[in-house]
Amino acid sequence: MPSPGASFVAPGESNLAAHLGKGSLFGHGFQVSLSDDVTSNVCGPLALVNKLITARPLRSQYLPEIGDVVLGRVSDVLAKRWKVDIDIPNDAVLHLSAVHLLDGTQRRRNYDDELDMRDRYGDRDLISAEVQGCFSDGSVALHTRSSAYSRKLSGQHIQVLPTLVKRGKRHFCDFQGENYGCTDIEVIYGCNGLIWVGQSSKEAPGLSSFDADTAREDEAHDRFSYVQRAVRELICRVANSVRVLAALGMVVDPHNIIDVCQHSTFLGLQPKEMMISSFLNHLVRECGLV
């Protein structure tokens, strides 16, 4: 039985109506019997909207919302659209009309744009996008109408529980590399639980007339360009920091990642040594991160 004013419930807790309010409405995560006894069937925190009380499970599948920043892998290239796997039952759809053109102009897509679809996003490419719409049949529409969304190269991605990534104003962050003797790297926090850590994307050249062919050459150069050793080590350190936070069940955000990186550097650990049990115990017992 939960205490009065409880904000967390466990499966099987009964007589919730008397403790959470008799005039409340119970939604997802609760079961109401014929005798009006309310019992919780999930484990997680409570969410209150007016008089509606719902319980959000700690481990659940990602439920997309409009405006979410997500990372996904292209699963198929069809006529005027891509199918993207964003870790939901049905693949999301990215229409050709919802992508950012290389030349930066606003115009109708033509036949040439359709022929260049595989050059833009090919099969198994990892891309960043934003949820444009969610429909009643479970389908999701994406868009990449900003230059911030692109194909991700020269890095690695980590899969964590979606509940560990909180929705916020900033899902694109630059990790300062000056303390590690290298350039900055980019970290993208996908609301679907995918975290991208990689080399910072280059800004578009400041030309009066942007050349689409030049942009394709730059992207091909980035795909096969050499990444410095110090940058690779920093990418591995930040990526392992994300894995450490996921193993401890902590929220994956910039503040926690920086703390884990600083502790590992202070102890003189290499990136490959950050997943050992002694370092995890050090974070739990001495650093108070949990």
Cα–Cα distance for residue pair 247/249, rounded to 1 Å: 6
Q: How far apart are CA 174 and CA 159, in angstroms?
A: 19
> In this predicted structure, what is the pLDDT of residue 286?
73
Distance CA(96)–CA(191), nearest Å, equals 23
| pLDDT surpassing 60 at residue 156 | yes
Q: DSSP string of the chain?
A: -PPTT--EE-TT---HHHHH-TT-EE-TTEEE-TT--EEE-S-EEEEEETTEEEE--SS------TT-EEEEEEEEEETTEEEEE-SSSS-EEEEEEEE--TT-------HHHHHTHHHHS-TT-EEEEEEEEE-TTS-EEEEE-STT--B--SEEEEE--GGGS---S--EEEEP-GGGTS--EEEEE-TTSEEEEEEPPPPPP--SS--HHHHHHHHHHHHHPPPPHHHHHHHHHHHHHHHHHHHTT----HHHHHHHHHHHHHTT--GGGTTSHHHHHHHHHTS---
Average the pLDDT over each of 19-23, 150-154, 170-174, 231-235 and give the range with the smallest value.
19-23
Worst-scoring range by mean pLDDT, 66-75, 136-145, 279-288?
279-288
**Is residue 247 very low, low, confident or very high in pLDDT (cuts 50, 70, 90)?**
very high
- Model confidence over 97-123: pLDDT tens digits? 999 887 777 788 888 888 889 988 999
Which residue in 122, 96, 123 sits closest to 110, CA to CA? 96
The closest of 105, 270, 245 to 166, measured between CA atoms, is 245
pLDDT at res. 202: 55
Q: What is the mean pLDDT of the chain?
A: 84
The pLDDT value recorded for residue 227 is 83
The pLDDT score that the predictor gives to residue 168 is: 85
Residue 74 tokens read as 């292209």
CA dihedral sign of residues 253, 255, 259, 265: positive
In the block, residue with structure tokens 């444009």: 132
| Whether pLDDT at 290 is above 90 | no
Select from 102, 72, 74 the least CA-distant residue to 88. 72
Say whether pLDDT at 17 is over 50: yes
Q: In which residue are the tokens 């996908």 written?
A: 190
Summarize pLDDT for 70-104 with one digit per residue, the tens.
999 999 999 999 999 999 989 999 999 999 887 77
Predicted pLDDT at 288? 63
**Across 219-234, average pLDDT:** 74
Residue-wise pLDDT for 21-56, tens only, equals 667 788 888 888 877 788 888 888 888 888 888 888
**What is the spatial distance between Cα 96 and Cα 159, in angstroms, rounded to a whole number?**
27
What pLDDT is stored for residue 204 in this prediction? 35
Closest C-alpha among 226, 233, 227 to residue 181: 233
pLDDT band at 205 (very low <50, low <70, confident <90, very high): very low
Contact between 72 and 85 under an 8 Å Cβ cutoff? The reply is yes
Residue 25 bridge partners (DSSP): 52
Q: Give percent above pLDDT 90 in the chain.
A: 39
The pLDDT-based confidence of 206 (bands split at 50, 70, 90) is: very low
pLDDT higher than threshold 60 for residue 212 = no
- Residue 236's pLDDT is what? 94
pLDDT at 198: 92
Confidence of residue 207 (pLDDT cuts 50, 70, 90): very low
Q: What is the mean pLDDT of residues 261-282?
A: 90
